[in-house]
Amino acid sequence: MMRLFIASFLFALLASTAFAENLPPNTLPPSAFSMQPETSTDLPPPAKPKAKPKAKKAKSPSSPLAALAGKKDGAQFIDVTADESLEWHEKESLYIARGHAVATRGTMKVEADVLKAYNRKNPDGSSQVWRLTAEGHVKIIDSNHEATGDLGEYDIDSRRATLTGGNLRFTSGADIVTASESFEYYEAEGRIIARGNVKAHREGRRVRADEMTAFLANNKTGGQDIDHMEARGHVQITTDQDAALCDRALYNLSQDSATLTGNVRITRGGNQLHGDKVEANFKTGQSRLINTGGGRVSALIAGSPGGADNGKPGGALAAPLFNPAKR
């Protein structure tokens, strides 16, 4: 479940960014945009080509944005089509594609009622798209993922992407994440935030919170993966056997462990735990209830119908009270 959030923004609005950053300035093809990275038309004729050096193995892009934009790894055409019109508004320095606008780059596709790219002049005289939006019935599709919303926006200066609206949803196979307010991706900080009654579901495990944040870290291939994740506000974690309530939950993917804090209540069958902090190791299936000094920890363990058996308390647990990571 935790890995869902990476794709939610790594392709959701950055696919649109790739489209915007490659728009050529002050030009508009007759039927559709066929675009590659911006080049100057005032350069002198190229010199006689020299012998090509020995090819080197290409490095992996440092971030998903670099991979999509193609800045470091070679140009790739982006095709933009629309049912109604493709427009260039010179006064506003604005490109607009209207009517089921579709931007496609490789396996990445962005669909919306309207796609807009805002252009500006740099001090050196070159042009740059600094902001883009996707409006109405926004859908971002990759080979294995799909994200939907009403409005997508990316600001190149702040490197912040947002997806908002009344139909915020991300799916990847059987995995589903929804939110009522927004999905936000902070590229420079390596954070992805889902806000507003966030619900995540994966293979019988369900997590619900006011807000969820995924923290990214570089991997061995030069890309990024989720390192850990935090859920805040009215956190609920449920499986077919367990239920947990708390104010905050921190999950570490590499260690497959979690820490729950703030008015923690855990229920399994008729058994209950109550305290300020719980540490759970999902690899071993063990959990520990900790007294942080704010009060006593407590457990309510249901007895068997026949009471004690051979001097042992009835209803002894054969499995951990808390195991929200059950797969």
- What Å distances lie between residue 140 and 37, 212, 227, 254, 300, CA to CA? 22, 21, 24, 29, 48
Give every CB contact of residue 324 below 8 A, 6+ residues apart in sequence.
205, 207, 237, 238, 239, 242, 244, 258, 280, 282
Cβ atoms of residues 139 and 125 within 8 Å: no
* Rounded (5°) CA angle 99-102-103: 140
Query: What CATH number has the domain spanning 1-37+63-179?
Result: 2.60.450
List, by residue range, all CATH 2.60.450 domains of the chain.
1-37+63-179, 204-327
Q: Is 271 helix (H, G, I), strand (E, B) or coil?
A: strand
What pLDDT, on the 0 to 100 scale, is given for residue 250?
Answer: 93
What pLDDT, on the 0 to 100 scale, is given for residue 35?
Answer: 37
CATH topology classification for 204-327: lipopolysaccharide transport protein A fold (2.60.450)
Per-residue pLDDT in tens (0 to 9) along the chain, 327 residues: 333 333 333 333 333 333 334 434 443 333 333 333 333 334 445 555 555 555 444 333 333 333 333 333 444 566 889 999 999 998 888 999 999 999 887 777 889 999 998 888 889 988 888 888 999 999 988 766 788 999 999 888 888 889 999 889 988 767 788 999 998 888 788 888 999 999 988 777 788 999 998 887 887 876 667 788 899 999 998 877 788 899 999 988 778 788 999 989 888 777 888 888 988 887 777 778 887 776 666 666 766 555 444 444 333 333 333 343 333
Q: Torsion angle of alpha carbons 5, 6, 11, 12, nearest 10°? A: 20
> What pLDDT, in 10s, does the model give residues 237-278?
887 778 889 999 998 877 878 899 998 988 877 788 888 898
